[in-house]
Chain A
Amino acid sequence: MNSPAVAAPLTAQAFKSDYKPIWCPGCGDYSVLSSFTKAFAKLELRPENVAVVSGIGCSSRIPAYTTCYGFHGVHGRSLAAAAGLKLARPDLTVVVASGDGDGYSIGGNHFLHACRRNVDLTYVVMDNHVYGMTKGQPSPTTEPDWDSKLSPGGTGLRTFNPLVIALAAGANFVARAFAGDPNGTAEIIAEAMRTPGFSFVEILSPCVTFRPEQREWKQLVRPASVPSTDDAARAARRLMTDDGMNIGVLYQGERKPYQPPVGKGKKRPSDLEAEFAL
């Protein structure tokens, strides 16, 4: 993460663009956007020093709604783009926004290897257990018995457990937050951004249009009863009894972030740019 700027701190509002979000009324992503901007303000960042990278889906609209640099990329490939950006411009703070479809299905392989590589990124996944933008298909985190016209009787498939996967694959920071708690979520995002290396934050973000029953999440979520740990084995054991509704930081490790090897053959972005010049 780049150092906090010396200029006067900006308010969260300064990180919101003039574009009005196009999400369904009641969507949890509004609050996540608010948490992003609060976290940026809390860390005393400047919009010109932050890049928000995303893939495809409702959640991936977020870059346009901030005043930071943004890249609305290819479906499932946000992490690849973000890793490239961070390695080329280590001075930037790079935050990646994704959803459960984008991040865990088509982008699943990138997720595994981003955790393993440990590039200094903050990966925020807004999980609503459904593909909202394409009108309600089951996603990797959809419950096996979720019955709908598009999946009669449910998929019968075991759900993807993102926190377990992140931990096993080597993410340096693993947390779960809830969109209905924007202040708490902002703190978790800020903590993820402060932690060097690959930080993963799963945010339960209700889709009130296709999963109206997720309105109940606000009654179900609870702060995790134990503090975060730097012991991956202990964190893994906690996940064995996790029902998916505990919020807070689970694991905060001390792995050194990935740095590209420095050698004779190393090229600067301007060298590469020259090669591509017509």
Chain B
Amino acid sequence: MSTKKSMKKSVKKNASKVTKASARKTKVAAVRKGAKAPKRVVAKAARKGSPVASAADFMAHAYAMEVEAAERYAEFADSMEMHNNREVAELFRKLSRIEQRHADQILEQMGWKQSPLTSLKVRWEGMEGPETADPTELHYLMQPYHALQIALHNEKRARDFFAHLAKVTKDAGVRKGAREMEEDEAEHVRLIEAWLKRTPKPDPNWQTDQDPPVLSD
């Protein structure tokens, strides 16, 4: 089997593993189904002394986090597709679908008929959500290995975010939810690490382009 074919197979296999693991993500028993989405929340969840106010706030932020991550991966997929890097585009597209599925599961879990984002004012401690990929990490010649490294970094950030939130919150419901999310994110980290081990490492000269776009170098 060619490297490309085996990589595609690996991408599919691992994507389904991550999805299954994530299905448990939204099982936050402490959060009441049908809880009203918060009108306005200042998302300084990770800042000491000012955690999210309630379990419903927490889930709204978890939802925002997943949506932002899904949108960013979709943007990456579009960008890679436009630059004819289809293999990486496909991987980002899958990651986007996975994150969107998590977001949809949160809506379902909470019994929210519509996205809480229309009324939620989200401001993260950093500039973006803890699971949102940094666009400046992209390269038009990047390979699946690089994309997985980006995903791994984001899953680790998400895990650490929930771990910290669980530590600083005074709300028992938020703590329980954050602990469960932390466990799920930790599982994602392990899955992506395993996925990376099976993914060919890029050639040291992967960035070499015989016809580069930059004239000013």
Residues of A within 8 A of B (CB): 9, 11, 20-28, 30-31, 34, 41, 135-136, 148-150, 178, 180-184, 206, 208-210, 215, 218
Q: List 10 A-B contacts (CB under 8 A).
A: A11-B115, A24-B140, A26-B135, A26-B137, A26-B138, A27-B135, A34-B71, A183-B122, A183-B127, A218-B127
Choose one: B78, B117, B217; the contact of A21 (CB below 8 Å). Answer: B78
**Leading 7 A-B pairs by shortest Cβ distance:** A25-B138, A181-B127, A136-B216, A148-B216, A26-B138, A20-B78, A215-B136
Q: B217 CB to closest chain A CB, in angstroms? A: 7
Choose one: A22, A41, A209; the contact of B214 (CB below 8 Å). Answer: A209
Contact B127 A178 (CB under 8 A): yes
Instruction: List residues of chain B with CB within 8 A of the CB of A135.
Output: 213-216
Q: Is the interface of B mostly helix, strand, loop or mixed?
A: loop
Instruction: List residues of chain B with CB within 8 A of the CB of A31.
Output: 135
Which of B76, B80, B135, B142 has the most C-beta atoms of chain A within 10 angstroms of its own C-beta? B135
Contact B136 A26 (CB under 8 A): yes
CA distance A149 to B214 in the complex (A): 10
Interface 1/0s, chain B 173-217, versus A by CB < 8 A?
Answer: 000000000000000000000000000000000000000011111
Q: A20 CB to closest chain B CB, in angstroms? A: 4
Instruction: List residues of chain A with CB within 8 A of the CB of B135.
Output: 25-28, 30-31, 180
Q: B64 CB to closest chain A CB, in angstroms? A: 9
Q: Is the interface of A mostly helix, strand, loop or mixed?
A: loop
Contact B123 A184 (CB under 8 A): yes
Contact A30 B122 (CB under 8 A): no
Counting CB contacts under 8 A, is B19 at the interface?
no
Interface residues in B68-100 (C-beta closer than 8 Å to A): 71, 75-76, 78-83
Instruction: List residues of chain B with CB within 8 A of the CB of A20.
Output: 78-79, 81-82
Choose one: B71, B115, B127, B215; the contact of A184 (CB below 8 Å). Answer: B127
Residues of B within 8 A of A (CB): 71, 75-76, 78-83, 115, 117-118, 122-124, 127-128, 134-140, 142, 213-217
Contact A208 B79 (CB under 8 A): no
CA distance A199 to B107 in the complex (A): 37
Instruction: List residues of chain A with CB within 8 A of the CB of B216.
Output: 135-136, 148-150, 210
CA distance A41 to B115 in the complex (A): 13
Choose one: B75, B80, B127, B136; the contact of A208 (CB below 8 Å). Answer: B136
CA distance A180 to B83 in the complex (A): 22
Instruction: List residues of chain B with CB within 8 A of the CB of A22.
Output: 82
Instruction: List residues of chain B with CB within 8 A of the CB of A183.
Output: 122-124, 127-128
Instruction: List residues of chain B with CB within 8 A of the CB of A148.
Output: 216
CA distance A262 to B140 in the complex (A): 54
Q: A30 CB to closest chain B CB, in angstroms? A: 5
Whose C-beta in chain A lies nearest to the C-beta of B85? A25
CA distance A28 to B217 in the complex (A): 21
Instruction: Identify 16 new A-B residue pairs, CB closer than 8 A, beyond the known A11-B118, A25-B140.
Output: A20-B82, A24-B140, A25-B76, A25-B80, A26-B135, A26-B138, A27-B135, A30-B79, A34-B71, A135-B213, A135-B216, A136-B215, A148-B216, A149-B217, A183-B128, A184-B123
CA distance A148 to B217 in the complex (A): 7
Q: A139 CB to closest chain B CB, in angstroms? A: 13
Whose C-beta in chain A lies nearest to the C-beta of B123? A183
Instruction: List residues of chain B with CB within 8 A of the CB of A9.
Output: 118
Instruction: List residues of chain A with CB within 8 A of the CB of B124.
Output: 183
Choose one: B75, B83, B118, B137; the contact of A30 (CB below 8 Å). Answer: B75
Contact A25 B215 (CB under 8 A): no
CA distance A25 to B82 in the complex (A): 9
CA distance A73 to B80 in the complex (A): 28
